[in-house]
């Protein structure tokens, strides 16, 4: 708890009118830039043209990897890595949300690997190097703009697996809240649920935490609870967008976790949901999180849940711990399903129990064990019960 190495050197250009720094930053790493992006929204909203102009102004050569999917596929990683090899790319520029940045990270790593990139995701082969990565963020959610990890989907095997390496941490990221003004209310809500979940996963861990970092996490959870509904309602509210964006980065950049990996609970369960049903990651997390909270709340965890409820939702510290804890979970539900308007059940998404048993096993296996060793250890049977609670 009190021993760790802090090493988060990503440079951030926050706010508007910062793109003039893009060319010079890219140039530090070389001349040949691979621009990675998704379904083309950046072409519709003008960001693509602005970025292209900066790249041209800096005299750099532009190559493109478009069409990266939400829940990005290993096939896109393969496609990108091939371009890097064929065109001798020097630096990667990811423009998009977490999916685009995650994919770009693995493109950068796969550039230095001759086999199937999926080997890197499933840890069959080690990540030995990575092209430098610069990002322009367009969605506050995954924190990929400042962290080491990424999540890749393999449709052939129905797998969605998270993996990371310090080599993949972006060197520079451009965070302009205005680039998220066009994000839909639904995606804003899902992204906010994702940020909130990162904090919940880190706050509730089995290794303990430093009080100072607890207060940071509580402050960030309060920030999401305060501003996510504002951004859903008023998409161009700069204050709300700025707070959500900067929180997305710090929720998961390894600072509040003291740069130590603590095992998560809801994310591994959700990855199975979106691998099987291709639902939005943040929505899956929103549905799972309060159920997981109810499932693991007991005498041994009530104190921690009480602290959470008091600090984040202003529940009275005078209530008995179990009552305060339950009141906090009700507030989480109110936030996710009422304030953000997210769908409350898997049933409403047309998902039934057909694959629950299989998914529960896979959630454990993806983390390399028979049991999910999170805040409370969860067996496949436990996980199946939590999925059932989501129906």
Residue 255 Cβ, how far from its own copies at the closest point, in Å?
Answer: 9
Residue 350 in contact with its own copies, rule: CB under 8 A: no
Q: d(Cα 97, Cα 144) in Å, to the nearest integer?
A: 8
Interface pick for its own copies out of 76, 197, 223, 272 (rule CB under 8 A): 223
User: Which whole-number Å values give the CA distances from 21 to 15, 185, 213, in the listed order?
Assistant: 12, 30, 32
Which residues of 185-265 form beta strands (DSSP E)?
none
Q: Residue 314 contacts by C-beta under 8 Å, 6 or more apart in sequence?
A: none
The DSSP H or E segment spanning 32 is strand 32-36
Could you say which residues in the range 282-301 bind its own copies, by CB under 8 A?
none
Span near its own copies by CB under 8 A; candidates 26-34, 147-155, 240-248, 280-288: 240-248
CB 220 within 8 A of CB 251: yes
Of the candidate residues 68, 220, 288, 363, the single one contacting its own copies (CB under 8 A): 220
212/354 with CB nearer its own copies? 212
Among 120, 183, 232, 242, binds its own copies (CB under 8 A): 242
Contact between 20 and its own copies per CB under 8 A? no
Q: Which of residues 59, 86, 114, 211 is near its own copies by CB under 8 A?
A: 211
* 72 sits near its own copies (criterion: CB under 8 A): no
Cα–Cα distance for residue pair 23/318, rounded to 1 Å:
56
Applying CB under 8 A, which of residues 23, 177, 229, 284 lies at the interface with its own copies?
177
Binding status of residue 3 toward its own copies by CB under 8 A: yes
The secondary structure of 116-134 as a DSSP string is -THHHHTTSS-------EE
Smaller CB distance to its own copies: residue 173 or 280? Answer: 173
Asked if 229 interacts with its own copies (CB under 8 A), we say: no
219 binds its own copies (CB under 8 A): yes
Between 91 and 244, CB nearer to its own copies: 244
Specify the residue, 13 or 387, whose C-beta has the smaller distance to its own copies.
Answer: 13
Residue 99 engages its own copies in binding (rule: CB under 8 A): no
CB 138 within 8 Å of CB 181: no
Contact between 227 and its own copies by CB under 8 A: the answer reads yes
Whole-number Å distance between alpha carbons of 222 and 218: 6
Cross-strand pairs, 134 = 93, 172
Q: Which of 246, 264, 292, 305 binds its own copies (CB under 8 A)?
A: 246
Q: Residue 173: which of 357, 51, 368, 12 has the closest Cα?
A: 12
Q: Which is nearer to its own copies, 39 or 166 (CB)?
A: 166
Q: Is 17 an interacting residue with respect to its own copies (CB under 8 A)?
A: yes
Structure tokens at 294: 């109810």
Contacts of residue 57, defined as CB under 8 A and 6 or more positions apart, other chains included, come to 23
Q: What is the spatial distance between Cα 378 and Cα 385, in angstroms, rounded to a whole number?
A: 10
Radius of gyration of the chain (CA): 20
Q: Which is nearer to its own copies, 151 or 244 (CB)?
A: 244
Contact between 16 and its own copies by CB under 8 A: the answer reads yes
Say how many residues make up the chain: 391
> Does position 370 bind its own copies by CB under 8 A?
no
**Cβ contacts of residue 76 below 8 Å, gap of 6+?**
65, 67, 68, 69, 103, 107
The residue ranges that bind its own copies (CB under 8 A) are 2-7, 9, 11-18, 177, 210-216, 218-220, 222-223, 226-227, 238-239, 242-243, 246-247, 250, 258
């Amino acid at each position: 708890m009190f021993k760790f190495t802090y090493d988060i050197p990503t440079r951030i250009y926050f706010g508007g009118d910062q793109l003039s720094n893009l060319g010079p930053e890219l140039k530090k790493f070389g001349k040949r830039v691979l621009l990675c992006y998704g379904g083309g929204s950046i072409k519709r909203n003008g960001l693509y043209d602005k970025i292209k102009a900066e790249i041209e102004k800096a005299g750099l050569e532009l190559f493109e990897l478009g069409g990266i999917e939400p829940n990005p596929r290993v096939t896109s990683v393969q496609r990108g890595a091939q371009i890097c090899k064929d065109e001798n790319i020097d630096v990667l520029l990811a423009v998009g949300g977490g999916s685009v940045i995650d994919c770009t990270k693995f493109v950068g790593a796969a550039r230095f690997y001759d086999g199937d990139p999926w080997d890197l995701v499933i840890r069959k082969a080690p990540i030995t190097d990575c092209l430098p990565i610069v990002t322009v963020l367009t969605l506050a959610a995954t924190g990929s703009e400042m962290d080491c990890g990424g999540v890749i989907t393999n449709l052939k095997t129905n797998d969605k697996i998270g993996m990371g390496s310090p080599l993949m941490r972006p060197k520079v990221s451009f965070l302009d809240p205005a680039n998220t003004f066009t994000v839909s209310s639904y995606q804003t809500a899902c992204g906010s649920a994702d940020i909130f979940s990162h904090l919940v996963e880190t706050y509730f861990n089995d290794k303990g935490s430093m009080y100072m970092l607890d207060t940071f996490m509580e402050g960030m959870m309060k920030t999401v609870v305060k501003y996510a509904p504002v951004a859903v309602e008023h998409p161009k509210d700069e204050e709300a967008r700025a707070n959500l964006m900067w929180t997305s980065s710090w929720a998961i950049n390894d600072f509040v976790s003291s740069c130590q990996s603590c095992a998560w609970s809801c994310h591994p369960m959700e990855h199975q949901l979106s691998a099987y049903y291709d639902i939005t990651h943040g929505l899956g997390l929103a549905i799972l999180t309060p159920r997981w909270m109810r499932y693991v709340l007991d005498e041994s965890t009530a104190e921690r849940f009480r602290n959470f409820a008091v600090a984040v939702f202003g529940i009275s510290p005078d209530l008995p711990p179990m009552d305060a804890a339950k009141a906090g979970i009700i507030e989480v539900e109110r936030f996710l399903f009422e304030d953000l308007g997210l769908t409350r059940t898997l049933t409403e998404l047309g998902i039934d129990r057909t694959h629950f048993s299989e998914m529960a096993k896979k959630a454990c296996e993806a983390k390399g064990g028979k049991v999910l060793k999170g805040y409370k250890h969860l067996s496949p049977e436990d996980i199946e019960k939590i999925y059932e609670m989501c129906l």
